[in-house]
Amino acid sequence: MQIHDVRNILDACLEPWRYKDYAPNGLQVEGKEEINKVVTGVTASQALIDAAAARGADAILVHHGYFWKGEDARICGMKKLRIRALLQHDISLLAYHLPLDGHLELGNNAQLGKVLGLEPAGQAGEQGLLWHGGWAGGGDAAAFADHVSGALGRTAQLLGRPDRPVRRVAWCTGGAQGFFADAIALGVDVFITGEASEQNYHMAMESDVAFIAAGHHATERFGIKALGEHLAQVSGINVEFIDVSNPV
């Protein structure tokens, strides 16, 4: 299969034109035309590129790619080394940011909800990226944070009252701590995202809505893995997910 056919499959699935994003979605660096093996991962780091090259990958598919708005446009330093490695190995780079967050089945939010056993009820907030729904597991915020930690394989940070009963949950993967006020307005008991900012602690204490920071990387592993599995199913291409560990 050719690289542009792969891109077309992914574009048709994720519909990137529906989103206002901070980086170009789709094919970011073009390598060889014929694609037989694809490596997927959360971020197009040097470690992922090196692992993909060692496995003979023809393309890399990630959530966090390159060319973010507001960054230095020059191809220097770390960016030079990454792009040089892609070009030397003739590896294409495809990246989907907000379209992967928002997809109703394969997306990061959908997949995180599935992993945690949440019952989605709808989407809200900016571009529909804030999900909300129910939790039938019972218990308080401390017990729910333990559940999140076990499901994601890392210790989640809980802000707010640990004995807060949990029935209604809002979530948005990655760095969505800025959505906390929107989550509070939904009337939920707890909000889950990847990272926390200083003000989130005070908001949690004063609103009596718990806040769980479960890890940017940890909350966004599942969407890109599901997207790769979808690509393999519809194209027949060999797709391998590589989880380059990141404690953030």
* CATH, domain range 3-102+220-241: 3.40.1390.30
Contact between residue 156 and residue 149 where contact means Cβ atoms under 8 Å apart: yes
206 annotated to a ligand binding site: no
**Angstrom distance (rounded) from CA 192 to CA 149:** 12
Please report the pLDDT score of residue 172 as a whole number. Answer: 98
pLDDT band at 224 (very low <50, low <70, confident <90, very high): very high
Domain chopping of the chain, boundaries: 3-102+220-241, 108-218
Please report the pLDDT score of residue 99 as a whole number. Answer: 98
3-102+220-241 against 108-218: fold identical: yes
Q: What value does the mean pLDDT take over residues 80-107? A: 98
230 annotated to a ligand binding site: no
Q: What value does the mean pLDDT take over residues 140-169? A: 98
State phi, psi for 216 to the nearest 5 degrees.
Answer: -60, -55
Contact between residue 108 and residue 219 where contact means Cβ atoms under 8 Å apart: yes
Pick 108-218's CATH classification: 3.40.50.2300, 3.40.1390.30, 3.40.30.10, 1.25.40.20.
3.40.1390.30
Contact between residue 203 and residue 180 where contact means Cβ atoms under 8 Å apart: yes
Please report the pLDDT score of residue 226 as a whole number. Answer: 98
216 annotated to a ligand binding site: yes
Token readout for 73 is 């446009």
pLDDT one-digit tens code per residue, 32-87 = 999 999 999 999 999 999 999 999 999 999 999 999 999 999 999 999 999 999 99
Q: What 8-state DSSP symbol labels residue 71?
A: S
Model pTM? Answer: 0.96
126 annotated to a ligand binding site: no
Token readout for 246 is 């990141």
Please, what is the Cα angle at 107 between 61 and 192, to 5 degrees? 120
220 annotated to a ligand binding site: yes
pLDDT band at 202 (very low <50, low <70, confident <90, very high): very high
pLDDT band at 14 (very low <50, low <70, confident <90, very high): very high
